Chains A and B, each alone.
Chain A
């Protein structure tokens, strides 16, 4: 139980295009989802906290107009990287928090974004 999926696992896009990444909790409802980015050989940096039905809360230094987050249901959150540039190339990981008996974050497998 408590599985989180991400789609796509890898994406390559041209500079200036937008890319959408999906994060789904497959067998539980997630009241909160988190988005992280990770550069090579570095740690995970929290980008934003996403609550179902409300606006995401962004960490300091993260552009909300650049990284659009939509948490439309208790099992799905999406991250859209708008007008992507090569410096946005990174590994994006989501996690889902179930609450109650599932009192921890469950992580997705990550999405490797490469912007040419």
Chain B
């Protein structure tokens, strides 16, 4: 079953604006990962944040993790049309640290 929910389900912004996506999960985790998926394609790993970390940066990406609230956010700064994709968070499953449970995803549209 899916671990958590993401919001918003869909997000439309203008190129250059920032995009923020949120992910909530239900059980305790060892780490949380964010993936990107272009339409009809496989997944691209963006960033992993461990349960003892609160914030992580990678280029224009900033991820935060609040284990007390069981939530994470992904911020994409200075968005580009090429950032248009679906974004998923994934957590490790309770019964296996390397089994992933995906969130419901956010479809991001960046208008040129």
Contacts and interface: CB of A to CB of B under 8 A. Distances in A.
Interface stretch (B14-22, B38-46, B59-67, B77-85): B38-46
Interface stretch (A13-21, A44-52, A68-76, A79-87): A44-52
B88 interface: yes
B40 A43 contact: no
- Chain A contact surface mostly: strand
Given A43-B2, A45-B2, A110 B100 contact: no
A93 B42 contact: yes
Contacts of A67: none
Most chain B beta-carbon neighbours within 10 Å: one of A43, A60, A107: A43
Contacts of B98: 32, 97, 99, 103, 105
Given A108-B42, A110-B41, A44 B102 contact: yes
A34 B99 CA distance: 8
A41 B107 contact: yes
B96 interface: yes
A101 B35 CA distance: 20
B24 interface: no
Interface string A33-64: 01010000111111001000000000010000
A7 interface: no
A45 B96 CA distance: 16
Nearest to B105: A43
Given A41-B107, A45-B2, A104-B45, A91 B101 contact: no
B42 A110 contact: yes
B42 A34 contact: no
A49 B105 contact: no
B104 interface: yes
13 contacts: A6-B42, A34-B99, A41-B107, A43-B88, A43-B104, A46-B100, A46-B101, A104-B48, A106-B45, A107-B42, A107-B45, A109-B42, A110-B41
Interface of A: 6, 32, 34, 36, 41-46, 49, 60, 91, 93, 95, 97, 99, 103-110, 112
The 5 A-B pairs with the shortest beta carbon distances in the complex, nearest first, are A109-B42, A107-B43, A44-B102, A107-B42, A43-B102
